[in-house]
Structure 1
Amino acid sequence: MRLIASALMTLAFAGSGALAQAQTGPAQTLKVSYDITLAGLPLGKADLSSSFKGPKYEMEGRAKLTGLAMILTGGRGEANASGTLDGDAPPRSNTFSVVSKTSDNQRVVRMGIRSGRVAQVEIDPPLEPKPDRVPVKAADKKGVVDPMSALLMPAMASKNLTDPANCDRTIPVFDGASRLNVVLSYAETKKVEVPGYSGPVLVCNARYVPISGHRSERPGTKFMQDNKDMSVWLAPVEGPRVLFPLKVSVRTMIGMGEMQASLWSLEDGKSPAPSRKTMKADETIKAEVVQ
């Protein structure tokens, strides 16, 4: 699940005019629920909530394995992030924390970031030293975003939200222990329907590029470096003019992992925004390619 989230980043924004609009417009909250599958089998669920007020944003997410995966591992996690949006630059992360739990252990990561530079990191319990772990240099902690903030992708100032050029970006991510790039490139445009959203999405190919903090000799690391079967579907969020993942697909060593939205809700300060089309909550994404 960590690789799925990192590869996404994954999961850019609009210029001065759009920023002024975001600063003076009403507060908005985007809530997205995801179904997580692996090799076609249900694995768990995740819920993400992103609130925008002026240039500031706050995000929180919860993920939980279900069924047999829950029985075997007890896996669940919670994460939070906050920061500011500034034109079409990457989000400026301020804080990030994540708690991951299994049936027999727990790890907490807390991180503070200032102007793109990692100021403080706490990992409890600390990672065990490994001879193949690539050292993290001071330069690797500059000009980065945290894994949650990386999911907010501001649209380019000169482009509309669904312009294919918005796919073409490199996202520099630091998760408290490792530094990586997620490189996105345009693949196609589709029209999709999920409960709460009906419209176009950008389908971006994704590549995982480890920089430091990873274990270079692990088979999983090498597999992900060579992995060309990763993609993210980005849906537009008009108010703050960001793109946000509707679906993430990552080929793993045991099959395709997917995180697919089952519910999409954009609410203003007063009431939930009406969906463009009423649909059953258990209906999967329907998509067609925009020619």
Structure 2
Amino acid sequence: MSRILKFHLPSAVLPMVALACIGAAPAAAETIRAHYVLSLMGLSIGSASASGVVEPESYRVDVSMRTTGLANLVNSTKGAATASGGLTAAGPSPSAYANTTSNNDETRTVRMSLASNAVRAVEVKPEPWDAEMRIPLNEGAKRRIVDPVSALIMSVPQGQELVGPAACNRTISVFDGVTRFDVQLSYSGAHTAQAHGYSGPVAVCSARYTPIAGHRPDSKSTRYMAENRDMNVWLAPMPDAHVVVPIHIDIRTGAGQLVIDASEFQIASRQADRSR
């Protein structure tokens, strides 16, 4: 979920004017720190955390998760991912993405370098054992994309409400190093969310998942998700950056309703670092 809007002075504007603007109004950066509880049919099955900083010309986000309790009796899973890059008028332009996940069977690491929202290099270790059974990825599937972590940051056009339709209505093209898919969000309304550190309005979006490439066409789980019309995400505003980020996600699964809900959600402003 994917674009941060950043204002660019036209290239014809004199550099001295730009410097004057910087001196007169130092740009703000925003930080986010969140903790999420994962539950299935009302039973806690894990936790996740996210932290990051969004600056006028760059961003970095770190995410981690792990299963707990009853879920570990089935398959203990944990993972960590990070993404960083620059901000353009079109949104985040990732430069680096890394993800490591492990369960009872294996540990997989994905590393990608990107430029201009296209993959320059990707390394997946180990490769999926069923790689030959998956729909091939052509070069086009690796362009005009964001990684899964950068996709969590979504811009709202200036002049539009942060909790209105413009917060939701978008299609996000995602590549995770193995699979390429789209997530389409549509505005469903507004709601009030409460978590430690945040109490206020959020945009409620319905979500649809469309697999593009890198998946197995005979996968029951992929087909189930593609046909799933019971997926929702709530987006909370980061007003300085004029972006929204998830505070709540609920998804109907074959095993029941999966809910990812923030128990802590803190957004803070600070002056952007202009020395770098």
Alignment TM-score > 0.5, same fold: yes
CA offsets 1:136-178 (integer angstroms, 9 cap, x no match): 1110000000000000001123313122122110000000011
- Specify the alignment match of 2:181 in structure 1: 180
Written as runs of structure 1 = structure 2, the 5 A alignment for 1:157-176 is 157-176=158-177
- Specify the alignment match of 1:62 in structure 2: 64
Distance verdict in 2 for CA 1:111–1:15, change over 3 Å: closer
Instruction: Report the Cα distance in structure 1 between the residues aligned to 2:160 and 2:252, rounded to whole angstroms.
Output: 31
Kindly indicate whether the alpha-carbon contact (under 8 Å) linking 1:64 and 1:77 is maintained by their aligned counterparts in 2. Answer: yes
Q: CA deviation at 1:86?
A: 2.2
Q: CA deviation at 1:134?
A: 0.6
Q: CA deviation at 1:269?
A: 4.2
Kindly indicate whether the alpha-carbon contact (under 8 Å) linking 1:15 and 1:158 is maintained by their aligned counterparts in 2. Answer: no
- Specify the alignment match of 2:15 in structure 1: none
CA offsets 1:98-138 (integer angstroms, 9 cap, x no match): 11011342110101110011011101111123554111111
Kindly indicate whether the alpha-carbon contact (under 8 Å) linking 2:5 and 2:91 is maintained by their aligned counterparts in 1. Answer: no
Kindly indicate whether the alpha-carbon contact (under 8 Å) linking 1:15 and 1:156 is maintained by their aligned counterparts in 2. Answer: no
Written as runs of structure 1 = structure 2, the 5 A alignment for 1:264-279 is 264-269=265-270
Q: CA deviation at 1:16?
A: 2.0
Q: 1:33 aligns with which of 32, 35, 58?
A: 35
- Specify the alignment match of 2:18 in structure 1: none
Written as runs of structure 1 = structure 2, the 5 A alignment for 1:1-291 is 10=1, 12-14=3-5, 16=7, 24-87=26-89, 89-130=90-131, 132-269=133-270
SS of structure 1 residue aligned to 2:166:
helix
Structure number with bigger Rg: 2
**Counterpart amino acid of residue 217 in structure 1:** D
Q: CA deviation at 1:74?
A: 2.4
Q: CA deviation at 1:225?
A: 0.9
CA offsets 1:224-249 (integer angstroms, 9 cap, x no match): 11100001000000121110001011
Instruction: Report the Cα distance in structure 2 between the residues aligned to 1:122 and 1:15, rounded to whole angstroms.
Output: 31
CA offsets 1:13-33 (integer angstroms, 9 cap, x no match): 445279x99x93233310011
Q: CA deviation at 1:197?
A: 1.0
Instruction: Report the Cα distance in structure 2 between the residues aligned to 1:203 and 1:11, rounded to whole angstroms.
Output: 16
Q: Number of residues paired by the alignment?
A: 258
- Specify the alignment match of 1:289 in structure 2: none
Report the TM-score, using the length of structure 1 for normalisation: 0.83
- Specify the alignment match of 2:13 in structure 1: none
Report the TM-score, using the length of structure 2 for normalisation: 0.87
SS of structure 2 residue aligned to 1:16:
coil
Kindly indicate whether the alpha-carbon contact (under 8 Å) linking 2:48 and 2:65 is maintained by their aligned counterparts in 1. Answer: yes
**Counterpart amino acid of residue 3 in structure 2:** A
Kindly indicate whether the alpha-carbon contact (under 8 Å) linking 1:32 and 1:264 is maintained by their aligned counterparts in 2. Answer: yes
Q: CA deviation at 1:35?
A: 0.3
Kindly indicate whether the alpha-carbon contact (under 8 Å) linking 2:158 and 2:242 is maintained by their aligned counterparts in 1. Answer: no
Kindly indicate whether the alpha-carbon contact (under 8 Å) linking 1:25 and 1:239 is maintained by their aligned counterparts in 2. Answer: no
SS of structure 1 residue aligned to 2:88:
coil
How large is the Cα RMSD of the aligned pairs?
2.1
CA offsets 1:36-61 (integer angstroms, 9 cap, x no match): 01122111000000112332101111
SS of structure 2 residue aligned to 1:146:
coil
Distance verdict in 2 for CA 1:247–1:208, change over 3 Å: same
Instruction: Report the Cα distance in structure 2 between the residues aligned to 1:11 and 1:93, rounded to whole angstroms.
Output: 10
Q: CA deviation at 1:71?
A: 4.2
- Gap runs ≥5 in structure 1: 1-9, 271-291
Greater displacement, 247-256 / 167-176: 247-256
Kindly indicate whether the alpha-carbon contact (under 8 Å) linking 2:29 and 2:55 is maintained by their aligned counterparts in 1. Answer: yes
Kindly indicate whether the alpha-carbon contact (under 8 Å) linking 1:186 and 1:205 is maintained by their aligned counterparts in 2. Answer: yes
**Counterpart amino acid of residue 51 in structure 1:** V
Kindly indicate whether the alpha-carbon contact (under 8 Å) linking 1:84 and 1:93 is maintained by their aligned counterparts in 2. Answer: yes
SS of structure 1 residue aligned to 2:85:
strand
Greater displacement, 141-150 / 45-54: 45-54
| Higher strand fraction (1 or 2) | 2
